[in-house]
Structure 1
Amino acid sequence: MGVFTFVCKNSGGEWSAKQHSGDLEASSSCTYELQRKLVKAALANESGGVQSSFSWISPSSAVFQVIVGGGGFVGGAVAASSGSAAPAAEAPAAEEKKVEEEESDDDMNLDIFG
């Protein structure tokens, strides 16, 4: 499992990102494209499922984290980083629906036409 943390900054309309403790980096004119490039860069170093998180710090800076691998992410990154996933909750037993029989007018001895 690989965790990649990037510091993103906007300067002059151009977004750039550098890995916090590593040498991966990318730049783009918008944050969406920057995130796609950073995910691709992380996948070039690790393989597996991807989870990402983009958090604004100010209008011109953000932190982007990419987690690659680690199996299932039950309960988010905390469960994945602890090495054990929480067991899936058991589905509640299906309740049986009682089908009520429709009463006819004959059963109530009501005859409005006779």
Structure 2
Amino acid sequence: MSASTSSPVELALLDALPDQGFHSVEAVVEGDAEPLILYRDGAQVRAWLNVCPHAGRNLDWAPGQFLKSREGHLVCAVHGAAFELQGGTCVSGPCKGDALRVVPVRVEGGRVLLG
């Protein structure tokens, strides 16, 4: 079955995500099961692989528990790298200038869908 004829993959319900907060899910991305970070900003949701570009480790300090700086950046719990929440670019820390890998998502009918 091609991607264009398959059903959309639901990652979460929008109402289940905290506004200005993070949520962890797992999804198949390019054939591999991957941990994802969802970030809700009002009616928009952004998603990235839950993998720090510095050391390849998950960014959460405990499963699904993420750190957010006073400046509003996602912070890697392992090495303290800080990522801005528009595009996932590292703005400080050991991987400054690198970025989290974006995963395309969309919101339809109150559901967060992959792709």
- TM tier, smaller: under 0.3
Report the TM-score when normalising by structure 2.
0.25
Q: Which has the higher strand share?
A: 2
Q: Which has the higher helix share?
A: 1
Report the TM-score when normalising by structure 1.
0.25
Larger relative contact order, structure 1 or 2 (CA cutoff 8 Å, min sep 6): 2
